[in-house]
Homo-oligomer: A and B are copies of this chain.
Amino acid sequence: MDERVREHAEVLVDWSARVEAGDDVVVSVAEDAHELGVAVAAALGERGANVTTLYGSSEVSRAYLKGVEARVEGEGDDAVDADDFDADPGVERAVFEAADAYLRIGGGRNVTATADVERPTRRAYAKARQGVREARMDTDWVSTVHPTRSLAQQAGMAYEEYADFVYDAVLRDWESLADEMAEMKEILDDGEGVRIVTERDDAPDTDVTMSIAGRTAVNSAASVAYDSHNLPSGEVFTAPYDTAGEVFFDVPMTIDATRVRNVHLTFEDGEVVDFAAEAGEDALANVLDTDPGARRLGELGIGMNRGIDRFTDSILFDEKMGDTVHLAVGRAYDACLPEGESGNESAVHVDMITDVSAGSRMAVDGEVVQRNGTFRWEDGFEAGD
């Protein structure tokens, strides 16, 4: 076994999920993530934790949902709705209610394995399992991926090259990155307003402002101890509101198995009032039409993981990349909100990313914090407006 697989498992179990002896840990292993699943099980045995292993297969999910579609069609219905599923089935709810930690190891055989499941079916399934989802979010959950051929292909990379990429992103000095990100968190916590500007010859301009007053940023250091649930992570994010202006997202992404490129959003009074995309505009429209909250921002995130040096069409990595900023329409994370207050609510949370490595600046309360990808505490930072 590649020594890095073992190291990945140890980072996941110890740094990320903070597993202790006696913990009940649920591990979900995707189709081609066997090796990391094995390494995680070994680590859990060594720590004295208990393990239950789920099979996180997209092809199994697809088959189940196609089965449901066939049944509903046989009953003469047009589309699957939430009533066609039992709400929060007992076993799944029981699993996550009893679990202390949930480790989701992605890495299937085909990132578009569920592409032919109808959109209403997927929505209905998600809606019927909201309680399961909440129970899962109440655990110390962490999401990671094992490098697979399928993910390498999605990234446009050779398999070995992609594996190197994943381990560069995952096997970091997380303590020291957490310290650096704490600086950014402090700036955002103290700040009231953020302005992001990009001016480049090869892309439409971005000039957007948003309020962050009263909101708490998350130092997402890939550990539940930091309210951070992704490995890799390496971003600082908060929950903005009252957004206004124009944003151009030049990083391609995949929404509902559709490739979406060059999204342009116009905000007024906190809401998307106009949108366009060079590719996948329908998928984008579908997201924005989900519910009222889907047209408002749920997240402003600043990518600070410099182990991630290229886009791979995977949000787990892309949004953490150094020299990027992302905004998400939809649901805000509770961790960013004052105790007991709820932020933007929505059934969706879709991140969109802008490269800020050149021709850009981000200012908090009028003071530039990052220019052309360089933070103000770094060498080479240019002050000014």
A residues whose Cβ falls under 8 Å from a Cβ of B: 22, 24, 26, 29, 31, 34, 37-39, 41-48, 50-57, 59-61, 63-71, 85-86, 89-95, 97-99
Contact = CB atoms under 8 A, between A and B. Distances in A.
A71 B45 contact: yes
Contact of A45 (B48, B64, B95): B64
A57 B45 contact: no
Identify which of A31, A34, A44, A95 gathers the most chain B CB atoms within 10 Å of its CB: A95
A287 to B, nearest CB: 26
B54 A67 contact: no
Contacts of A69: 45
A311 B346 CA distance: 58
Contacts of A64: 41-42, 44-45, 51
A301 to B, nearest CB: 32
Contacts of A65: 45
A61 B38 CA distance: 8
Contacts of A52: 54, 89, 91-92, 95
A172 to B, nearest CB: 24
A140 to B, nearest CB: 13
This chain's copy number in the assembly: 2
A141 to B, nearest CB: 14
A63 B29 CA distance: 14
A47 B64 CA distance: 10
Contacts of A56: 55
Contacts of A91: 24, 26, 50, 52, 94-95, 98-99
A47 B75 CA distance: 12
A25 to B, nearest CB: 8
In the A-B complex, list the 6 residue pairs whose CB atoms are closest, starting with the nearest. A45-B67, A50-B89, A94-B94, A55-B55, A42-B63, A90-B98
27 contacts: A24-B91, A26-B91, A34-B57, A37-B57, A38-B57, A38-B63, A39-B63, A41-B63, A41-B67, A42-B63, A42-B64, A45-B65, A45-B69, A50-B86, A50-B89, A52-B54, A52-B91, A52-B95, A54-B54, A55-B55, A55-B56, A90-B98, A90-B99, A91-B99, A94-B97, A94-B98, A95-B95
Contact of A90 (B24, B37, B59, B68): B24
Nearest to A38: B63
Contacts of A51: 60, 64
A267 to B, nearest CB: 41
A231 to B, nearest CB: 19
Identify which of A24, A31, A56 gathers the most chain B CB atoms within 10 Å of its CB: A24
A60 B47 contact: no
A42 B66 contact: yes
A39 B69 CA distance: 15
A60 B29 contact: yes
B34 A31 contact: yes
A88 to B, nearest CB: 9
A64 B49 CA distance: 10
A67 B50 contact: no
Identify which of A31, A63, A66, A68 gathers the most chain B CB atoms within 10 Å of its CB: A63
A333 to B, nearest CB: 26
A57 B38 CA distance: 9
Contact of A59 (B38, B89, B95): B38
B67 A43 contact: yes
B60 A37 contact: yes
A52 B71 CA distance: 19
A95 B60 CA distance: 19
A152 B31 CA distance: 22
A68 B89 contact: no
